[in-house]
Amino acid sequence: MSSRRSDPVGALASEASTRRRRRDPEYRAAHERLAPYEDIARFVLMRRATIGLTQEQLADRMGTSHSAISRIESGRHRTSIATLERLAQALEVRFVMGFETGPLEAPVRELDSL
């Protein structure tokens, strides 16, 4: 008899991802590299829903394709600064970019709104 914890079939995706990150350094590195894009994806999904846009409508506002919006919202692809600027305008928000210095626990941030 197997429990849910020891059987990956039917496990939550987040649980499976956590287990794989613990045992696979390459997977962990890829996950860390994509984390900022996943954060952007979550923001875009939430903001798009808040202002009541479909992916197609957002794409029209940006002058891009529906598939480009889908790629952004997947959180698995790098997004250029130019695209982020157009995305901010289409989502009616400001795009803020910056740099950090100092320790990770207490970074000093220099931000600029574009």
Q: Where are the alpha helices (DSSP H) in 11-80?
A: 13-23, 25-50, 55-62, 66-74
Assess if residue 84 is contained within a domain.
Answer: yes
Dihedral, 76, 50, 83, 71 alpha carbons, nearest 10: 30
Average pLDDT taken over every residue of the chain:
86
The two tokens of residue 18 are 């956590």
CATH number at residue 95: 1.10.260.40
Assess if residue 35 is contained within a domain.
Answer: yes
Please report which confidence band the pLDDT of residue 89 belongs to, taking 50, 70 and 90 as the band edges: very high
What whole-number distance in Å separates Cα of residue 81 and Cα of residue 9? 39
| Residue 106 DSSP symbol | S
Number of domains in the chain: 1
Assess if residue 21 is contained within a domain.
Answer: yes
Give pLDDT tens digits for 31-71: 778 888 889 999 999 999 999 999 999 999 999 999 999 99
Domain residues for the domain of 17 are: 13-113
